[in-house]
A and B are shown apart, each in its own frame.
Chain A
Amino acid sequence: MNVVVCVKQIPDPAAPPALDPGTKNLVREGKLILDDSDSYGVEMALQLADAAGGGEVTLVSMAPNGETSGLRTALAMGAARAILVSDDALVGTDALGTAKVLAAAIRRAEPDLVLAATESSDGYTGTTPVQIAELLGLPSVTFAKKVEITGASVKVERQTEAGYDEVESPLPAVVTVTAGVVEPRYPSFKGIMAAKSKPVETLSIADLGLDASQVGGAGARQEVVDVAEAEARSAGEIVVDEGEGHQKVIEFLEQLKVL
């Protein structure tokens, strides 16, 4: 079974984020890392391919400057290869444009299953996977907490407000997985070494047959009008617990008539 995992390489979340003052795009300079949210999809893909008795896990990503450091992390976990779309024309691409690029790249891998996170940690638009499904004419099951392959279909436990739904879909399909549903493996030393020589195919938008007017800033049909400071919330009373800290909480809740 061949599984494609959409992965995003993002600026380190520990570093303070910033917007470019001119373009208002999120600054994505410097080293990018594998979005933590995507490690669950990678792990899930590896487990499913394993359970199916073989098959390949292919990563698909879009990033500036031919960036591969995040991809290497996922390759070190065990993915077989990666397709990276990197093109100067992609700067400022919105989520729909990103979906068009990724869908074109995924088509080349002819997967039985496409996995993605429910949303990225940096932009968290949360629409790209389902847009990819619609572009590819595939069914999708989002917010999966359990994924199982049975023959030519995928069975998913899908998170709902009230609990979860059991959903079944024919393959190929797109499935988004919520965090915490599997435990992503740490890359082994052997895995890290092997990842260095695994194939990463780098493509331009021309390679994908896409028109530059559909993507990037030129193709974006939404714009940032303004960025302003939010109303600040001021800190209140801080007490150090020396055995009676809970009393302060009780008093506070009493004032609010919660108790």
Chain B
Amino acid sequence: MAVDTIWVLAEVADGVPITTSLELISQARALAGTVEAVAWGDATASVAATLGEYGVTKIHDVGDLAGSLPGVPVAAAIAAAVAAGGPDAILFPATYDGRDIAARLSVRLDRPVLTNVVGLTTGDAGLVTQHAIFGGSQVLTARFTGAGPGIYVVRAKSFAAEPSGGAPATVVAAPAPDTGATNGAKIIARHVEERTGPKLDEADVVVSGGRGLGEKDQYVLIEELASLLRGAAGASRAIVDAGWVPYSHQVGQTGKTVKPTVYVACGISGATQHLVGMKNSKNIVAINKDQDAPIFSVADLGVVGDVHKVLPKLIEAIKARG
């Protein structure tokens, strides 16, 4: 089963396509003859050159959404474009908006969604997906059956983003049809929270904290070490659930996937929920007082010790280096 055409949701943030979308476009190029993108907003024309460079030939431009959350109008626009001649597969980055759009589109096309995809290959069975299950200890391969395009939601860092030197993509209008009251959710205001370091899923160094920190106030140790290493601060699900840090910091199955050069896990036991989000980091350092903690089974360097003793000394020692 050959794959002719793949569409990729090209999400744009701060005027440029997000990295995960570029990763998906790069992989789509290896799988299909034609790669096209779906984008929205007022900056589509300005990203045509970048998307073209990664191999996109055509952009289906939904245009400005007039303050609507993207889920409803973008899914409706894609469904209309699919009806006019659709692709074999549509790839979505696993982002807040990507997930919304994929779920809405699923109902419109009456096709299920394969989510948490970490690999996409073609074989005799057509397009198949890989999913990390049980903390990444096993890999599940799945595929769609029946007619209609496959809808895939792919996690960040599943593929490398590599430009292919293509010409700027052409932009065609793909306006959203009227969706009435369903499209009632409107953005009233946007709040940008100050971030001093790199983004969690793009950082070279990630320092994460877990329940072993003992209390919310101790998370400053994680932030300080992350900042000294010019990295980002992450968290285990346990302390997000406890309300110590916002969901956006969560690394793991129900959070972000990270693949930094170094991942430093502090007071994290290493539940399967967490491991699946970080075990593909290039190097892993774990500090935990329980020597039997599962995190040590994936650590390149494990320090059996109390984070309240090790972290302050580590921070002081790094500061002393100037």
Residues of chain A having any CB pair with chain B under 8 Å:
13, 17, 19, 24, 36-37, 94-97, 99, 118-119, 121, 124-131, 133-135, 137-143, 145, 155, 157-170, 173, 178-181, 183, 220-230, 232-233, 235-241, 243, 245-250, 252-253, 256, 258-259
Across the interface, do A161 and B248 meet the contact criterion of CB distance under 8 Å?
Answer: yes
Partner of B302, one of A133, A170, A238, A253: A238
* Nearest-neighbor residue (CB-CB) of B297 within chain A: A235
Give the CA-CA distance A114 to B229 in the complex, in Å. Answer: 43
Chain B residues contacting A164 (CB-CB under 8 Å) are 191, 193
Interface range on chain B: under 10, 10 to 19, 20 to 34, or 35 or more?
A: 35 or more
Across the interface, do B304 and A240 meet the contact criterion of CB distance under 8 Å?
Answer: yes
Give the CA-CA distance A94 to B111 in the complex, in Å. Answer: 10
Chain B residues contacting A252 (CB-CB under 8 Å) are 283, 285, 300-301
With contacts A225-B128, A245-B310, A246-B317 taken as known, whether A162 is within 8 angstroms of B193 at the C-beta atoms is yes
Interface string of B223-251 (1 = CB under 8 A from A): 00000010000000100111110111000
Give the CA-CA distance A128 to B184 in the complex, in Å. Answer: 19
Other A-B pairs beyond A134-B72, A181-B243, A227-B140, 17, CB < 8 Å: A95-B115, A127-B102, A131-B106, A134-B108, A162-B193, A173-B185, A178-B240, A180-B244, A183-B243, A229-B138, A233-B297, A235-B296, A238-B303, A245-B304, A246-B314, A258-B229, A259-B229
Residue pairs across A and B with CB atoms within 8 Å: the count is 281
Q: How distant is A78 from chain B, measured CB to nearest CB, in Å?
A: 20
Show 9 residue pairs from A and B whose CB-CB distance is below 8 angstroms, ordered by the A residue. A143-B247, A145-B246, A157-B191, A179-B237, A226-B141, A227-B141, A237-B300, A252-B285, A252-B301
Chain B residues contacting A36 (CB-CB under 8 Å) are 241
Across the interface, do A167 and B145 meet the contact criterion of CB distance under 8 Å?
Answer: no
Chain A residues contacting B100 (CB-CB under 8 Å) are 130, 140, 142
Chain A residues contacting B96 (CB-CB under 8 Å) are 142-143, 158-161
Across the interface, do B181 and A118 meet the contact criterion of CB distance under 8 Å?
Answer: no
Interface of A is mostly: mixed
Give the CA-CA distance A99 to B102 in the complex, in Å. Answer: 14
With contacts A127-B113, A162-B13, A248-B303 taken as known, whether A238 is within 8 angstroms of B296 at the C-beta atoms is yes
Q: How distant is B138 from chain A, measured CB to nearest CB, in Å?
A: 6
Give the CA-CA distance A183 to B242 in the complex, in Å. Answer: 8
Across the interface, do B247 and A96 meet the contact criterion of CB distance under 8 Å?
Answer: no
Give the CA-CA distance A133 to B254 in the complex, in Å. Answer: 21
Give the CA-CA distance A237 to B285 in the complex, in Å. Answer: 10
Partner of B301, one of A127, A135, A233, A236: A236
* Nearest-neighbor residue (CB-CB) of A162 within chain B: B192
Partner of A119, one of B72, B244, B246, B254: B254
Chain A residues contacting B264 (CB-CB under 8 Å) are 249
Partner of B103, one of A127, A169, A232: A127
> Which of the candidate stretches B21-29, B129-137, B163-171 sits at the interface with the other chain?
B129-137
Chain A residues contacting B262 (CB-CB under 8 Å) are 253, 256, 258
Chain A residues contacting B182 (CB-CB under 8 Å) are 133-134, 137-139
Across the interface, do B199 and A161 meet the contact criterion of CB distance under 8 Å?
Answer: yes
Give the CA-CA distance A181 to B248 in the complex, in Å. Answer: 12
Q: Which residues of B (98-146) have their CB < 8 Å from a CB of A? A: 99-100, 102-104, 106-108, 110-116, 125, 128, 132-134, 136-146
